[in-house]
Structure 1
């Protein structure tokens, strides 16, 4: 395809809301679309019409939130990615020229004459003509190394780069897509031995249960099965209310009663399904408490926590524990003793943020291990009120940056307010925030 001159080129802009404008001869033409994908197709279609009229390919510079893209479009709507004028040949990922092969070094001594009847004359130790051992040692393997596979990057699938890939022009992903892929890989990691996350805050309504559910969902969706969300609460834990119920009504008390069998050599992996509630969309299991009965009727001791944890650690690679509000409860304190990664859940309300900060202070003074958990904690700040201003949210986020290893902000999302929680029901920006939160948690396991 031949590129036209810059004087014949067009300019197009795609706005964040999916609408666009194409400028032809300094005259803007509005494009009423609602997605970037539709806008790109319409820009190509209109540019092709002009190319047919002029009987020459047309250059169009497309600007959108992801970047600026110089294209050449012909009358048949074929598109090529064109380097800008004056750009370097390798600016868009073309392979560097292969260096010329080095000339062989001149021999320091004349080569001895060969005899048609035998080995080289004058050589005390002639090399065998076919030495399989030497050949295997010197030749390069035909197999692709694991390092090569790790460095092989899939083409872009998002934004304008993804659109160009689907048109047949393979493009590398942008920085945002690369960051998302890195988070997915961190979440998908499997560690040797079980890992435990404790989601904490001493104030009710601070977002502990949604945080437990959505972290479990992200780890299960991207890392595979073997994820358990455990309602470790003496006083009306509501994890079961916001998740799907299985074909039974079993709770952690039932699992505790069956722990001897579940820990025996006769137990099978599927036996645990009698006591947990599988989430068919998000692929993790829930161990429920009993929110209807009084706390005095369903007390769980620290020893009971150890017993249930032994079962969970046998059947699951990752346990996410939703906690109650009473930090003096032996149940709560035993949970901390089993924890590998602490997550402080808070909303943007002042009382929730302060309660989480006070909890970190208390853990710092409890013992050396608890203090290390507090220093390595991840704070998840959920915007519970849609009317919260950016400065209000930033104040909470910045405050927790002084207290924890990392802080992840989750935007307001109506799908998080009531009812069953499902990762797929969240807005894209909310899903991305929960993926970032899970990835931050996963990175905390690397030294565990």
Structure 2
């Protein structure tokens, strides 16, 4: 019935819609059994609380579990367009490759978006050594050679897997360099980088670039031009921190896009010794806080010293720290 008491004509679409609207209460007029979308106080899944919840007790998650769920939700937020994250530090050994790998692993495990980590180091990059090789030995120079014909390939075509190496445990792909080749044999100029970036951006929603150490190289500078989110990797070695800080200051002075990257950057400081100095870690983190959007610290983990990197091999505290670090990057990327 309509509000004025007249019968609706149920033979017409508009009459049926009006009758349906009047049958249903307005929003907020009744209690709902549904939880708000942002509700986080539901049943625990982890630890002793999770054990009791599985026995049937109504146990809410701990504050730590709620925080981790919020981080995963942030990391899992879908991208509206392809984005590029660059992991940088001009000093060798500053933890760039482990940082790029673990950011890729956390995004890969928690997002439905296809993720690629790309070795942009022309001088024997180690990304290929720290990750699983696929059923072929292809690398970035092979992809560059194939780029002209791949431009016509439809997005989603599995041909891209002939050039990248999928990591089945952590759900991301790797574009390797060939560490057996001299730098002169895998030279990438600005035009080459543009071509490669155009190809990978067609197939991957998120590209994480593991940069080289030469900040004057064409491939490094062009990488920065394509970067949407900057990540400074550092350890608690003072020289690594100083190199990262100098880079942020130099970008800030250049203004424009570079200054915005520096201002919105995320710094990830990894403890480089098993029994590191907490005061030193805090001092470095505090020093970066004046230069960057946010700073996250990561504890030492023997699983990252050498060999292939797999997320599940890390200690629980390290996994939590890398989830936190990736959430910080995701938050900056989506803002």
Same fold? TM cut 0.5: yes
Structure 1 residues 126 and 403, CA, compared in 2 at 3 Å: closer, same or farther? closer
Contact 1:229 1:284 in 2 (8 A): yes
Contact 1:327 1:333 in 2 (8 A): yes
Task: State the partner residue of 2:212.
Answer: 324
Q: Aligned residues, how many?
A: 323
Structure 1 residues 141 and 163, CA, compared in 2 at 3 Å: closer, same or farther? farther
How far off its partner does 1:432 sit?
0.6
1:205-233 per-position Cα deviation (integer Å, ceiling 9, x unaligned): 00000000000000000103510000001
Query: 1: distance between equivalents of 2:40 and 2:277?
Result: 42
Segments of 4+ in structure 1 off by > 6 A? 141-147
Q: Do residues 345 (structure 1) and 229 (structure 2) align? A: no
Unaligned runs of 5+ in 2: 11-15
Task: State the partner residue of 1:140.
Answer: 24
Structure 1 residues 281 and 225, CA, compared in 2 at 3 Å: closer, same or farther? farther
Matches within 5 A, 1:259-338: 259-265=147-153, 269-338=157-226
Q: CA RMSD in A?
A: 2.2
How far off its partner does 1:366 sit?
2.4
**Between structures 1 and 2, the one with greater helix share:** 2
Query: 1: distance between equivalents of 2:201 and 2:134?
Result: 21
Task: State the partner residue of 1:217.
Answer: 105
Query: 1: distance between equivalents of 2:5 and 2:254?
Result: 76
How far off its partner does 1:403 sit?
1.4
Q: 2:7 aligns with which of 99, 109, 128?
A: 128
Contact 1:225 1:284 in 2 (8 A): no
Task: State the partner residue of 1:425.
Answer: 313
Contact 1:340 1:373 in 2 (8 A): yes
Matches within 5 A, 1:32-431: 127-128=6-7, 132-140=16-24, 148-151=36-39, 154-265=42-153, 269-431=157-319
Structure 1 residues 354 and 270, CA, compared in 2 at 3 Å: closer, same or farther? same
Highest relative contact order (Cα 8 Å, sep 6+), 1 or 2?
2
How far off its partner does 1:353 sit?
0.5
Work out which of the two has the higher radius of gyration on C-alpha atoms and give 1 or 2.
Answer: 1
Query: 2: distance between equivalents of 1:126 and 1:413?
Result: 74
| Helix, strand or coil at the partner of 1:344 | strand
Q: Normalization by structure 2: what TM-score? A: 0.91
Structure 1 residues 412 and 311, CA, compared in 2 at 3 Å: closer, same or farther? same
Q: Normalization by structure 1: what TM-score? A: 0.68
Query: 2: distance between equivalents of 1:145 and 1:308?
Result: 51
How far off its partner does 1:141 sit?
7.3
